[in-house]
């Protein structure tokens, strides 16, 4: 992993590729969101992650436009939002496709008539297997029509993934950090060639995690911050972390990951921090989501 750079990509089983580090935009709205995305791209990030649920796709679009970085050099990932839990709303694949199309128009600023997204995910596995199949068929339609290059899922467990019809998801975005390693899902995705994006890679800066003696010791050993250690662990595990930040200094710091490497002992100690479901920060446990 010593040859990793900010420009490194991961090869997807579809033949496409995705940057190894992304910029997360969850919770970044209005001018704060615009400025954060603009700065992230100007400073070298190659991927921006958003979602319909975040209600900031327009801000992401504006930030991309203000950055001056050409559209073809920005990898845009968003997440399609299933109907609310308990709503009993059923959608046909065509309805899902049409709703997904709105995200493309909110995010691609080219105005060329050939707008596209690089990756679209189903944000949650609700409500049930029947619903997921219809939602997945809708994203597959979008991909077939060419305005979404790759499709994937988020918060899906092994049973959810096994029940999906073709095509195989390119990506599964789940919570991943040393205290929540989701090894069963990770092992399954690796066997199938499904790339893993990591949300909450910085554990939302939780004080008890950032002051964990093991992580603090490793950070001091490398003369780096705790955030650097957590993100570098993600990279060396083969995951694609998508850290969120709003201040320019933190955005810049979160990409300063390529001039040091965690050794085998560091990785072993960090791996030993796994707490399973108890280590979750997001409160989302794929194992307990509807089958």
Measured in whole angstroms, the distance separating CA 42 from the mean position of its chain's CA atoms is 20
Helix (H) / strand (E) containing 174: strand 171-175
Residues 38, 236, 80: CA angle, nearest 5 degrees: 50
Between CA 181 and CA 247 the distance in angstroms is 28
Residues 6+ apart with CB under 8 A from 30: 59
CB-count exposure of residue 214 (10 Å: 0-12, 13-18, 19+): middle
Which bin fits 146, alpha (ψ -120 to 50), beta or left (φ > 0)? left
Between CA 133 and CA 72 the distance in angstroms is 31
Residues 6+ apart with CB under 8 A from 234: 176, 177, 198, 201, 240, 241
User: DSSP H helical segments within 79-182, as ranges?
Assistant: 93-107, 129-145, 158-163
- Is residue 116 part of the annotated active site? The answer reads no
Active-site choice (45, 54, 75, 188): 54
Between CA 189 and CA 183 the distance in angstroms is 10
Active site residues: 54
């Amino acid at each position: 992993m010593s040859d990793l750079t900010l420009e490194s990509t991961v090869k997807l089983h579809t033949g496409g590729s995705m940057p190894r580090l992304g910029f997360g935009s969850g919770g970044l709205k209005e001018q704060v969101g615009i400025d954060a995305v603009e700065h992230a791209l100007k400073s070298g990030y190659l991927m921006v992650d958003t979602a319909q649920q975040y209600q900031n796709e327009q801000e992401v679009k504006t930030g991309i436009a203000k950055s001056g970085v050409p559209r073809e050099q920005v990898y845009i990932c968003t997440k399609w939002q299933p109907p609310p839990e308990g709503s009993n709303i059923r959608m046909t694949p065509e309805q899902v496709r049409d709703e997904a199309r709105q995200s493309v128009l909110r995010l691609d600023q080219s105005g060329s008539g050939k707008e596209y997204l690089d990756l679209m995910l189903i944000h949650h596995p609700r409500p049930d297997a029947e619903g997921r199949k219809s939602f997945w068929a809708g994203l597959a339609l979008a991909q077939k029509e060419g305005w979404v290059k790759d499709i994937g899922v988020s918060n899906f467990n092994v049973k959810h993934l096994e029940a999906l019809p073709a095509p195989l998801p390119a990506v599964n975005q789940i919570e991943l950090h040393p205290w929540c390693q989701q090894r069963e899902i990770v092992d399954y995705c690796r066997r199938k060639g499904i790339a893993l994006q990591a949300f909450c890679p910085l554990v939302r800066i939780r004080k008890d995690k950032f002051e964990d003696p093991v992580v603090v010791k490793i950070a001091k050993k490398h003369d780096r911050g705790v955030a650097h250690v957590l993100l570098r662990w993600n990279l060396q595990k083969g995951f694609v972390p998508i850290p969120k930040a709003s201040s320019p200094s933190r955005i810049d710091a979160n990409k300063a990951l390529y001039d040091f490497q965690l050794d085998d002992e560091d990785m072993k100690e960090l791996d030993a921090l796994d707490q399973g479901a108890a280590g979750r920060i997001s409160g989302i446990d794929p194992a307990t989501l509807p089958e």
